[in-house]
Structure formats: structure tokens, C-alpha cells
Amino acid sequence: MRLGLVALALAAASCSAVLDFHECNVDGDCASRGSGLVCNPDHQCINPSPCYVSEEATAPGPPLVIAGLYLLSEATDGPNDHAIRQAVDQAAIELNDLMVPVRHIACDTGGDTTVALRAFKLAVEQFKAVAVVGPNTSDELLALAPEARARGVVVVSPAATAAAIADVPDDNLVWRTCASDNLQAKVLASLVPAGKSLDVLWVTHDSYTEGLEKAFCAASGCDPMTTTPLQFDTGQAAGAVAQMNAPDYAVLIADFDAPALVAALAGAPGQSLTQYLMTDSALTPTLWGAGPFDFTFLTRIRGTAPALPAFTDPSGPVYAAFDASYRGQWHEAPSDTAFVANAYDAAYAIAIGAGASGASATGRAIAARLGSMSDPAGMAVQVRPDEYQSAVNALIAGGTIDLVGTSGPIDWDGSGDVVTAPTEVWTIAQDTGGMPTFKVLSTITP
């Protein structure tokens, strides 16, 4: 990916807030709009910098600048965070409508720790961001945590789930709205019957995959008599699949390599009876490729992921309201990609903390306020536009709140991790149009 001097997207104010905004299909369409501009996946002509204004502040006054660190450059042939970026845009749009000025800076990390760190520095130095939503991989978050600590920037990740993040020295500046992999691993382990042969495939040199493999084996035992470990380097999924020996079950732990694993397994000989288990990183429509679709194979895949709250849960109606507004803005379902609701919650928690901290809120001031949002004895506040001011007022008055998120309860512990979180077991089904879709089989709270 080309990195240049930071520049704003050419379009003034908010491009992404306009429904069906479409100014280009290919880079050549941008030639008349300025030198060096390229067409991004949202059909906007932008400077090929890792950072650009995704949602401009329209309310008067100095804006709260939130930087989002996302994977945006793999739009057509791999996992991407466009739906997560849109959730933060959604929060910014709603807050600006409330006359709370918020500017959302989207930065493309390319899924690379070095690029993520550079994007973080650009967002802070050039765009004056005091808070970050993301990054969405554990390696990226671990890489930039020391820089966030040094610069006093609060970071709230909706998707970095590695258990090791809880132990990083961070001056209480790193928070998560997603559950640690320790919780997901317990549910994943419960899906493998005792005594069945099992292959465990995971990507090496990746804190997310290696951490989840360790957590899975701690929960399941990974009996050496029945379990075959198969590590592989990123980009080598086909080679790992070739080493499999037709197990009863196979646990596949990968992030960017998840679609490649599925593609390799689809043609693997001798595995017509193997049941495949995957994790939250696979919960993306890019998982199954462009088709044609073999549902005999795809329906043998199950996985775990953060669960959307049931309507009977206190968070259920909050998520339903978010789902309706998100669909209305973006014409797609937030449930199609994991961690979208978690990103929306992260943006609102930052905004509430900033609002309670007064003008020119710093990252450290916001972080200090986050610690007052998970008190069961505090005033219950839902993550939604019409309850934003109530939350701010309660914190300004010296009280605490009990934040009810769209992704579930925001029950942070002292290290900024959520304590409990429902986990869904999903499978792939065929919709009425003959396309694959994700279907929730059950929800388990470990």
C-alpha cells in the first residue's frame, strides 16, 4: 500500500453520510478531481494516505476527533472492516445531529502492525485524534499499546480478543468492548465430543491465533492421543490442509487466512465427513468466496463468535434500535459482520467520556471516565442517541452509570476487559436466493 503525506478526502464535509454517494468506480474516474487521487471501496476519490476524514463534524464547536484503525484495503478479496467503520460513522452522524461535534478519521492499517503504528501516529499528529476505535487485530493493538501509553491516547478496540492484551502495561488507556478469547475458547471446546479425532490448525506468529489455540487447548485438554496440531505460516493454508488426515473434527483458527482455509478444504480429498469449527474472524461474507457454492460442504462448518443480545436481554431492544438505524443508513445488516455493534458501543463510550470531561478532553481524561460506566448500582443508560446526554450529565454530577450496550452489557473490569459476554454458535445456511448466509444455532454464556 502506498503511503504519502496525509490529506483529507477531496469531498467536502461528509461523503459517507450521504446515501448512495458514488463518485467513482475506478481510479481513472478521479483524474478530474485532483492529482494522485484514487477510488476507494466506498466509491470516494481520496488521497492514497492511510488516513482520511470518513465523517466530518457538522455540529459547531471544536470537534472530538476519533480515529478508527481498520483493515480497509482488502475490500474485494478478503476480510475487511468496512462494516465496522460504518458503525463508527453511524455514531458520529447521530452525535453531530445532537449538536455534539465529532470527526471520525478512518485509517487503513492493511492488517499490518507497522502500517497500523504509522497510521496511529498520523492520526494523532496530523488529525489531532485523542481517542481510537480499534485496531481490530490483536497483533496491531499489542504493537501500538506502548505508543498509546506514551502519547496519552485512549484506545477502545471492538475486536482485538487476545487474552494477552489484559496484561499489557497501558496506564489504563487500552479498553475493549469485545470479550477475551478465554471466554470464546470455552464454548469452542464444548463443540468437540470427547474421544473424537481432532486436528487443530492455526497461524503461527499471530497473537490472536496462537492465544486462541492455547486457550482452546486449556479448555479442551487437547488430548495428544486424539489431537494433531498443525501450525502454518500466513499464506500457507493449502499446505496445512494437505497435512490433515481426515479427522472427525478440525478446529481452524485464522484471521486473514480464514477464507483461504475454506477454499482449500472445499477440494480436500478424504474429508467428506469431517466437521469444521471456526472462530469469530471467519464471520464475514468473504469466507465462502464468489461461488458456485457447495452447501454439502459449507453446512459442515460451524463457528463461535460474540453473540448479538436476545431481545429479552436488557441489550436486546438497544441492539434492535441500532440495527434499524444502521440498515436505514447503509442498506445492509450489521449482523453480517462480527463486532459491528461492539464498534458502535466503543464510539459512544468514548463520546460519553469526552462529553463528561469538558472542552478539549484528553485521552487520559476520557479513559478515567470509562471506569465509571460499569457500575451495576449506577443509573442504567442505553447506548443510543437519546440517552447520550443523560449519561454525560450523570458523570459530570460525580455519579456512575451502568452502560447497556448494543453488543451486550459493558461490564468492564479493572483492566478494561468485559467480564461476561454471550457467545453464539453459528453455521452457514442457504438463503431463499441460493446464497450462503450465517445462521445462529445457539447462544452460550460461559
Taking the CA atoms of 325, 329, 332 and 334 in sequence, report the sign of the dihedral they define.
Answer: negative
∠ CA 327-328-332, nearest 5°, is 30
Contact 158, 346 (CB under 8 A): yes
Q: What are the domain boundaries of the chain? A: 1-178+310-406, 182-306+422-444
Spans of the chain, pLDDT less than 50: 1-21, 75-77
3-state secondary structure of 367: helix
Does this chain's domain 1-178+310-406 share its CATH topology with 182-306+422-444? yes
Q: List pLDDT tens digits, range 178-228.
A: 988 888 999 999 999 999 999 999 999 988 899 999 999 999 999 999 999
Rounded to whole angstroms, the Cα distance separating 299 from 438 reads: 10
Amino acid identity, position 411: D
At 250, which amino acid appears?
A
Give CA separation, 433 vs 327, 398, 429, 437, in Å: 20, 54, 11, 10
pLDDT above 70 as % of the chain: 91
H-helix or E-strand spanning residue 229: strand 227-232
Q: Count other C-beta atoms under 10 Å from residue 368's C-beta.
A: 16
- In sequence order, the 6+-apart residues with CB closer than 8 A to the CB of 186 are 219, 446
Candidates 148, 143, 149; CA nearest to 206 is 143
What pTM value is reported for the model? 0.77
Q: How would DSSP label each residue in 335-355?
A: GGSTTHHHHHHHHHHHHHHHH
Domain 182-306+422-444 architecture: 3-Layer(aba) Sandwich (3.40)
User: To which residue does cell 504509522 refer?
Assistant: 118
Rg (CA), the chain: 21
- Write the DSSP symbol of residue 318: H
DSSP letters for 244-301 = ----SEEEEE-STTHHHHHHHHHT-TT-TT-EEEE-GGG-SGGGG-SS---HHHHTTE
CA distance 400 to 272: 55
| Cβ-based neighbour number of residue 414 at 10 Å | 8
CB contact at 8 A, 12 and 34: no
Helix (H) or strand (E) holding 7: none
198 residue type, one letter: L
At position 133, the amino acid (one-letter code) is V
Name the CATH superfamily, with its identifier, for domain 1-178+310-406. Answer: Response regulator (3.40.50.2300)
Q: Using CA atoms, how far apart are residues 130 and 445, in angstroms rounded to an integer?
A: 34
Beta bridge partners of 46: 38
What is the rounded distance in angstroms from the CA atom of residue 334 to the CA atom of residue 386? 20
pLDDT in tens, 399-420: 999 999 999 989 999 899 998 8
Give kind and range of the element (H or E) at residue 330.
helix 316-330
User: Rounded to an integer, what distance in angstroms lies between the CA atom of residue 358 and that of residue 356?
Assistant: 6
Render 31-96 in DSSP notation, one character per residue. Answer: GGG-TT-EE-TTS-EE-SSSEEEEE---SSSSPEEEEEEE--S-TTTS---HHHHHHHHHHHHHHH
User: Cα separation of 415 and 429, whole Å?
Assistant: 38
Q: Which residues contact 313 (CB under 8 A, 6 or more apart)?
A: 408, 422
The dihedrals phi and psi of 218, each to the nearest 5 degrees, come to -65, -35
- Grid cell 452525535 is found at 95
pLDDT at 132: 98
